[in-house]
């Protein structure tokens, strides 16, 4: 048996051996007018959503559904707007496997290409990672409904459910007891485009790095990129390799970022237990983290810099933009130049109030400003203050600590907005290994405690006899 077929056979055998106790246990409830209610609906079918689904399936929570707005095979950023050649993390990363050796990326890659190919591999190619996720979904039988965009999440406390409005699919309302927002790096807010760009330049003259960019139409053109982080150089090398005439990267700071705090954070103690720190230490730690943009990888920088038509401008914030004919004049403290197109690599803003699907509950969700104030006012960081103040299992919490709000705690923010509360966790591949178990434990805990009267009632009434022996032993005829 060759390659992946052999691996899939070994995986099926391993999962069977690890299945104990192989017994579905959740108590289903009916929705309004007898509608079907899922135990858990996971919004987002990328790496985090798929891993969350597998984690629940391993805990025998089977009545689940994953929703994704993209068509099948295009979940997450990998074949849409991600333009790096390889992932930035170590090739030996784990997380989606949940400790099952046959599911780690290395096993998948070796099954396809052999051990020697793995040894020769530096970092994981972006396309291979997407192929792995497609394979992962298939072999695990994860239920995903594609091309389904969530319009709004509306808690219905009186019937202990959440309704997920999805006008893009036939069944416009989907009911669930718990909802997981596995919505990626932008899932707790939105990609950021500075207002001076939006107010100065026609929309067809610029794009954020998270958007579709027609690089074919930019062949031979002169392009300016604002930003000096990893995504800026991903787009620079991507465009240059596809024939863009010139690419100029503009960086506000006098030099490129060189320090990546994530590399320090990548050990089990930090990844697993940052969430156990007190609020003051967490706040200071994330404040330090936010002082650094993620630098480009050395190979990505070199891929862009090797082109003779690449230019880097440091200490060069954009101080003016003006449309001149069909081109845009970019002004910096060092002068001005005309460009055919602008690419904006200015990151994202985290704020639940920016999420349209949370518009009916965002004002009730606790943020860091509600629960913690630095002793020194000068240490206050407004970017941290608007991050949701999450519980230990990624659940939303009410603004006041003594409030009881199960309609909020049943929604789990397993996305990048969890950074301030739980550190590198959701949307950070290096943190998934430890974060995913907190999420799954939190969901199963709620599902059990929500129905504790039923479980304990059945337990106290349990009378099934296991021992069937009699004494004296019957006499054999």
> What is the predicted pLDDT for the residue at 163?
78
> What is the predicted pLDDT for the residue at 237?
97
Q: Tokens representing 340? A: 């055919």
> What is the predicted pLDDT for the residue at 159?
67
> What is the predicted pLDDT for the residue at 93?
92
> What is the predicted pLDDT for the residue at 166?
77
> What is the predicted pLDDT for the residue at 33?
85
Tell me the three-class secondary structure of 364-433, residue by residue.
HECEHHHHCCCCCHHHCCHHHHCCECCCCCCECCECCCCCCCHHHHCEECCCHHHHHHHCCECECHHHHH
End-to-end CA distance of the chain: 54
Supply the mean pLDDT for the chain. 95
User: CA–CA distance from 446 to each of 39, 60, 182, 313, 449 (Å)?
Assistant: 11, 14, 18, 52, 5
Cα–Cα distance, 323 to 338 (Å, whole number): 9
Q: Which residues contact 398 (CB under 8 A, 6 or more apart)?
A: 364, 365, 366, 404, 405, 408
**Segments in the chain below pLDDT 50:** none
> What is the predicted pLDDT for the residue at 118?
98
**pTM of the complete model:** 0.95
> What is the predicted pLDDT for the residue at 34?
87
pLDDT digits (tens, 9 = 90+) for 152-197: 999 987 766 777 777 766 568 999 999 999 999 999 999 999 999 9
Q: Which of 350, 361, 340 is nearest to 387 (CA)?
A: 350
> What is the predicted pLDDT for the residue at 288?
96
Q: Which of 46, 54, 93 is nearest to 430 (CA)?
A: 93
Q: Tokens representing 213? A: 């960019």
The alpha carbon of 271 is separated from its chain's Cα centroid by a whole number of angstroms, namely 16
User: CA–CA distance from 381 to each of 23, 157, 289, 293, 376 (Å)?
Assistant: 48, 34, 12, 16, 11
Contact between 414 and 182 under an 8 Å Cβ cutoff? The reply is yes
Tell me the three-class secondary structure of the chain, residue by residue.
CCHHHHHHHHHHHHHHHCCCCCCCCCCCCCCHHHCCEEEEEEECCCHHHHHHHHHHHHCCCCCEEEECCCCCCCCCCCCCCCCCCECCCCCCCCCCCCCCHHHCHHHHHHHHHCHHHHHHCCCCEHHHHHHHHHHHHHHHCCCEECCCCCCEEEEEHHHCEEEEECCCCCCCEEEEEEEEECCCCCCCEEECCCHHHHHHCCHHHEEECCCCCCCCCCECCEEEEECCCHHHHHHHHHHHHCCECEEEEECCCCCCCCCCHHHHHCCHHHHHHHHHCCHHHHHHHHHHHCCCCCCCCHHHHHHHHCCCCEEEECCCCCCEEEEECCEEEEEECCEEEEECEEEECCCEEECHHHCHHHCCCHHHECEHHHHCCCCCHHHCCHHHHCCECCCCCCECCECCCCCCCHHHHCEECCCHHHHHHHCCECECHHHHHHHHHHHHHHHHHHHHHHCHHHHHHHHHCCCCCCCCCCCCCCCCC
pLDDT digits (tens, 9 = 90+) for 395-424: 999 999 999 898 999 999 999 999 999 999
> What is the predicted pLDDT for the residue at 231?
95
Contact between 318 and 331 under an 8 Å Cβ cutoff? The reply is yes
Q: Which of 148, 151, 54 is nearest to 98 (CA)?
A: 54
Q: Which residues contact 193 (CB under 8 A, 6 or more apart)?
A: 206, 208, 344, 346
Question: Does the N-terminal peptide bond of residue 305 adopt cis geometry, omega within 30 degrees of 0?
Answer: no
Cα–Cα distance, 279 to 268 (Å, whole number): 20
> What is the predicted pLDDT for the residue at 169?
62
């Amino acid at each position: 048996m060759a390659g992946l077929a052999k691996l899939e056979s070994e995986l099926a055998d391993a999962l069977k051996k690890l299945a104990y106790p192989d017994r579905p246990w959740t108590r289903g409830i009916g929705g309004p007018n007898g509608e079907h209610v899922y135990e858990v609906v996971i919004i987002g079918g990328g790496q985090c959503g798929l891993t969350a689904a597998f984690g629940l399936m391993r805990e025998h929570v089977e009545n689940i559904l994953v929703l994704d707005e993209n068509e099948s095979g295009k979940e997450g950023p990998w074949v849409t707007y991600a333009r790096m050649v390889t992932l930035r993390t170590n090739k030996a990363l784990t997380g989606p496997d949940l400790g099952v050796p046959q599911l780690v990326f290395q096993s998948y890659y070796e099954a396809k290409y052999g051990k020697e190919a793995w040894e020769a591999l530096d970092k994981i190619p972006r396309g291979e990672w997407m192929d792995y996720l497609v394979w992962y979904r298939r072999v695990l039988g994860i239920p995903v409904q594609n091309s389904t965009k969530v319009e709004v999440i509306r808690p219905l406390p009186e019937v202990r459910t959440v309704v997920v409005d999805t006008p893009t699919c036939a069944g416009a309302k989907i009911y669930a007891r718990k909802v997981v927002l596995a919505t990626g790096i932008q899932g707790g807010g939105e990609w950021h485009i500075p207002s001076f760009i939006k107010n100065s330049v026609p929309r067809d003259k610029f794009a954020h790095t998270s958007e579709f960019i027609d690089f074919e139409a930019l062949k031979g053109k002169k392009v300016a990129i604002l930003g000096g982080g990893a995504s800026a150089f991903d787009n620079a090398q991507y465009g240059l390799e596809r024939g863009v005439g010139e690419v100029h990267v503009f960086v506000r700071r006098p030099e490129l970022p060189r320090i990546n705090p994530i590399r320090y954070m990548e050990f089990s103690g930090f990844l697993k237990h940052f969430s156990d720190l007190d609020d003051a230490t967490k706040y200071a730690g994330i404040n330090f983290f936010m002082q650094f943009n993620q630098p480009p990888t050395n190979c990505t920088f070199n891929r862009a810099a090797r082109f003779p038509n690449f230019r880097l401008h440091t200490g060069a914030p954009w101080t003016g933009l003006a449309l001149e004919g069909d081109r845009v004049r970019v002004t910096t403290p060092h002068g001005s130049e005309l460009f055919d197109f602008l690419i904006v690599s200015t990151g994202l803003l985290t704020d639940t109030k920016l999420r349209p699907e949370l518009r009916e509950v965002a004002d009730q969700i606790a943020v860091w400003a509600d629960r913690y104030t630095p002793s020194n006012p000068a240490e206050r960081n407004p970017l941290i203050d608007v991050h949701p103040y999450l519980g230990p299992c990624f659940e939303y919490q009410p603004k006041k600590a003594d409030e009881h709000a199960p309609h909020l705690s049943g929604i789990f923010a397993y996305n990048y907005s969890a950074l301030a509360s739980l550190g590198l966790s959701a949307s950070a591949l290096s943190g998934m290994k430890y974060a995913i178990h907190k999420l799954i434990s939190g969901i199963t805990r709620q599902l059990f405690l929500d129905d504790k009267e039923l479980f304990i009632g059945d337990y106290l009434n349990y009378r099934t006899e296991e021992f069937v022996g009699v004494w004296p032993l019957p006499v054999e005829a």
